[in-house]
């Protein structure tokens, strides 16, 4: 965006905020691509390991009493990790197989048209007074589609608002903020659950080699958060944003019947959705019935459910679930003519993941170096001791982490990349303070979500602005930020307070968590 795209705000507070945005954008633009960033961090770990090992820096593992020393990567054993272990480092990177397995199924559901139709069905024929909440909740469900939700829901939000006689600009804002600021809140399991839990598991095993964080470990909190965030957005939009005098679209913008017809769901699609709904219920029922017998092979040790193959292998279950639903929908609507089309959808889905797979190679090497050198474990032990000496309550420590992650997310907008940096330090450190990895992951998800809608480093911020400019050509970064900044501030305060309350009440963040 150039300077012409920035609208100067009247408020001193907003002017100050936009100056901060400008600094963030300048700093962020100077950062290398995340792929190179992780390689630079890996080189920093190599150098640091040589320096710290020479100084004899170490710590004592509280659980075992064993000394922990920094290991030098510029040694014979270190070069084995760097060179001989490179392929193994990548192959053993937990999110790699997990995200591919889930995406094989989700890509079938997406390319069959199931997800797009479901989202359209949720927001059409909704009474005007419920439109904001329904659109926001639709975005929470839309997180199943990952980043594709932005492409689908932002223009859809504008169209349904215009069809209801309301500002399409406001529709863009509601859809964008709901997807981005509530990115880690969803009433259903998503690829993010599988991705983050695998990173959390690897970090937790620094302290406990047998610890496992499952994809459902934050489900209860995520479900409640999706309703909370949608309610907050609805209240702020209807009581404040909807009263702004600058919501009108350009006079040249007139409803296009062709555009409005695209929102409607056809009779064939409605029938397909009903059948798919029955198939989904049958799929879930089969799993539940299979878990009932105490001797079921789907149960875990001692007849456990949370530690059962069904939960620990949730990535496969999710992938299969979406693949079955997508295939049924595709056959009923004609988007899939044969089994070859299903395979083609999977291939296309994996192809779309090429950028993140390339990034994963760099991340996996950095994490392997970081773990092998013991630097992360020493930081965790030392940090836990310092926090214990300060006598801070657990909730205060968690809020502090939320603040740190919120600031970091303004520049590093990739959730998986940021968690790959933060988890190896935060999770072991808080485990030593008696705070479970599932709790640390939950507070990360809150902080990682909210600022997505205000950082100019996010490509979807620019995308949202592009959709907004369809209805108001004069809109710029300042226009969009003047809507998203107040919403983000309120969501952050309410959501963090909700997290603290949940934590203090001792409510489970998910099954077994």
Q: What tens digit of pLDDT does each residue of 375-405 get? A: 888 887 887 788 777 888 889 999 999 998 9
Q: How confident is the model at residue 431 (pLDDT cuts 50, 70, 90)?
A: very high
Three-state DSSP class for residue 2: coil
Q: Is pLDDT larger for residue 500 or for residue 152?
A: 500
What is the predicted pLDDT for the residue at 443? Answer: 95
Q: Is pLDDT larger for residue 77 or for residue 20?
A: 77
Residue 155 has, within 13 A of its CA and on its CB side, a CA count of: 12
Mean pLDDT across the stretch 342-353?
90
Mean pLDDT across the stretch 499-505?
96
Q: How confident is the model at residue 103 (pLDDT cuts 50, 70, 90)?
A: confident
Three-state DSSP class for residue 345: helix
- Is pLDDT at 257 greater than 50 in this prediction? no
Tokens of 249: 């679209």
Q: Is pLDDT larger for residue 364 or for residue 513?
A: 364
Residue 119 and residue 155: Cα distance in Å, rounded? Answer: 12
Residue 256 and residue 158: Cα distance in Å, rounded? Answer: 12
Three-state DSSP class for residue 297: coil
- Is pLDDT at 494 greater than 60 in this prediction? yes
- Is pLDDT at 466 greater than 70 in this prediction? yes
In this prediction, what percent of the chain has a pLDDT beyond 90?
32
In this prediction, what percent of the chain has a pLDDT beyond 70?
89
Q: For the chain, what is the mean pLDDT? A: 84
- Is pLDDT at 9 greater than 60 in this prediction? no
What is the predicted pLDDT for the residue at 250? Answer: 58
Q: Is pLDDT larger for residue 340 or for residue 473?
A: 340
- Residues 171-202: tens digit of each pLDDT: 899 999 999 988 888 888 888 888 899 899 98
Tokens of 66: 């064993």
- Is pLDDT at 234 greater than 90 in this prediction? yes
Q: Which helix (H) or strand (E) holds 147?
A: none
Q: How confident is the model at residue 436 (pLDDT cuts 50, 70, 90)?
A: very high
Q: How confident is the model at residue 7 (pLDDT cuts 50, 70, 90)?
A: very low
Mean pLDDT across the stretch 75-101?
88
What is the predicted pLDDT for the residue at 437? Answer: 95
What is the predicted pLDDT for the residue at 21? Answer: 57
Contact (Cβ atoms closer than 8 angstroms) between residue 53 and residue 513: no
- Is pLDDT at 56 greater than 60 in this prediction? yes
Residue 226 and residue 408: Cα distance in Å, rounded? Answer: 23
Q: Which helix (H) or strand (E) holds 337?
A: none
Residue 236 and residue 444: Cα distance in Å, rounded? Answer: 24
- Is pLDDT at 155 greater than 50 in this prediction? yes
Residue 40 and residue 285: Cα distance in Å, rounded? Answer: 49
Mean pLDDT across the stretch 149-154?
81
Mean pLDDT across the stretch 104-125?
83
- Is pLDDT at 258 greater than 50 in this prediction? no
Residue 351 has, within 13 A of its CA and on its CB side, a CA count of: 7
Q: How confident is the model at residue 324 (pLDDT cuts 50, 70, 90)?
A: very high
- Is pLDDT at 205 greater than 70 in this prediction? yes
What is the predicted pLDDT for the residue at 509? Answer: 94
The 8-class DSSP code of residue 83 comes to I
- Residues 11-49: tens digit of each pLDDT: 566 566 556 656 655 665 566 777 888 899 899 999 999
Pairing of strands 67-69, 58-60: antiparallel
Contact (Cβ atoms closer than 8 angstroms) between residue 149 and residue 118: no
Mean pLDDT across the stretch 299-306?
74
Tell me how long the chain is: 513
Closest by CA position to 186, among listed 287, 328, 318: 318
């Amino acid at each position: 965006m150039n300077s012409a795209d920035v609208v100067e705000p009247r408020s001193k507070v907003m002017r100050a905020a936009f100056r901060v945005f400008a600094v963030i954008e300048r700093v962020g633009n100077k950062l290398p691509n995340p792929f190179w960033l992780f390689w630079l961090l890996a080189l920093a770990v190599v150098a640091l390991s040589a320096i710290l090992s020479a100084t004899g820096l170490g710590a004592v593992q509280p659980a075992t009493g064993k000394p922990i020393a920094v290991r030098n990567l510029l040694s014979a054993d270190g070069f084995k990790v760097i060179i001989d272990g490179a392929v193994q480092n990548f192959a053993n990177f937990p999110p790699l197989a997990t995200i591919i397995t889930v995406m094989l199924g989700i890509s079938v559901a997406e390319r069959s048209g199931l997800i797009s139709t479901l989202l359209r069905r949720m927001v059409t024929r909704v009474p005007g007074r419920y439109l904001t909440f329904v659109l926001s909740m639709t975005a929470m469900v839309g997180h199943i589609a990952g980043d594709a939700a932005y492409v689908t829901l932002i223009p859809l939000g504008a169209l349904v608002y215009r069809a209801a006689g309301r500002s399409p600009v406001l529709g863009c804002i509601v859809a964008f903020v709901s997807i981005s600021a509530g990115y880690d809140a969803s009433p259903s399991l998503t690829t993010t659950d599988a991705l983050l839990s695998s990173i959390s598991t690897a970090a937790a095993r620094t302290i406990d080699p047998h610890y496992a964080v499952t994809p459902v470990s934050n489900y209860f909190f995520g479900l409640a958060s999706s309703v909370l965030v949608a309610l907050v957005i609805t209240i702020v939009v209807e009581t404040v944003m909807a009263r702004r005098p600058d919501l009108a679209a350009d006079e040249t913008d007139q409803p296009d019947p062709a555009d409005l017809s695209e929102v409607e769901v056809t009779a064939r699609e409605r029938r397909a959705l009903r059948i798919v709904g029955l198939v989904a219920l049958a799929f879930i029922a089969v799993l539940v019935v299979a878990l009932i017998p105490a001797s079921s092979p789907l149960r875990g040790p001692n007849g456990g459910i949370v530690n059962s193959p069904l939960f620990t292998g949730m990535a496969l279950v999710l992938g299969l679930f979406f693949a079955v639903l997508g295939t049924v929908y595709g056959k009923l609507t004609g988007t899939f003519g044969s089994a070859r089309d299903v395979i083609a959808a999977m291939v296309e889905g994996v192809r779309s993941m090429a950028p993140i797979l390339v990034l994963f190679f760099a991340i996996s090497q950095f994490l392997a170096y970081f773990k092998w050198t013991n630097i992360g474990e020493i930081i965790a032990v030392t940090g836990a001791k310092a926090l214990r000496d300060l006598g801070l309550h657990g909730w205060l420590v968690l809020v502090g982490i939320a603040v740190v992650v919120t600031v970091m997310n303004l520049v590093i907008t990739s959730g998986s990349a940021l968690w790959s940096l933060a988890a190896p330090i935060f999770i072991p450190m808080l485990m030593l303070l008696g705070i479970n990895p599932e709790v640390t992951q939950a507070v990360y998800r809150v902080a990682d979500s909210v600022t997505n809608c205000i950082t100019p480093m996010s490509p979807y911020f620019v995308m949202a602005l592009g959709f907004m400019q369809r209805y108001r050509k004069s809109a710029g970064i300042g226009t969009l930020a003047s809507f998203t900044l107040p919403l983000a501030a309120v969501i952050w305060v309410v959501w963090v307070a909700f997290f603290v309350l949940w934590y203090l009440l001792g409510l489970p963040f998910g099954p077994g968590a």
